[in-house]
Amino acid sequence: MQAAGKVYLVGAGPGDPELITVKGAKLLKAADVIVYDRLVNVELLSYAQPGTELIFCGKSPERHTLPQEEINRVLVYYARQGKTVVRLKGGDPSIFGRVGEEAAYCAERGIPFEIVPGITSGVAAPAYAGIPLTHRDLSSSVAIVTGHKRVDGQGDPVRWEQLATSVQTLVIYMGVGNLPYIRDQLLKYGRPAATPVALVRWGTLAKQETLVGTLDNIVEKVQEAKFKSPAIIVVGEVVRLREKLAWFEAKQADGEGTEQRGSSLPALKTVVV
Active site residues: 37, 59, 174
Could you tell me how many residues make up the chain? Answer: 273
Identity of the amino acid at 69: E
The CB density around residue 60, as the number of other CB atoms within 10 Å, is 12
Nearest to 230 by CA among 174, 159, 155: 174
User: Which residues does 172 contact at the CB level (< 8 Å), separation at least 6?
Assistant: 145, 146, 147, 182, 232, 233, 234, 235
The CB density around residue 246, as the number of other CB atoms within 10 Å, is 18
Cα–Cα distance, 221 to 198 (Å, whole number)? 11
Count helices and strands in the chain by DSSP H and E runs: 9, 11
As beta bridge partners, residue 87 has 9, 35
Nearest to 142 by CA among 232, 251, 261: 232
Cα–Cα distance, 263 to 149 (Å, whole number)? 36
Residues 252/211, Cβ–Cβ less than 8 Å = no
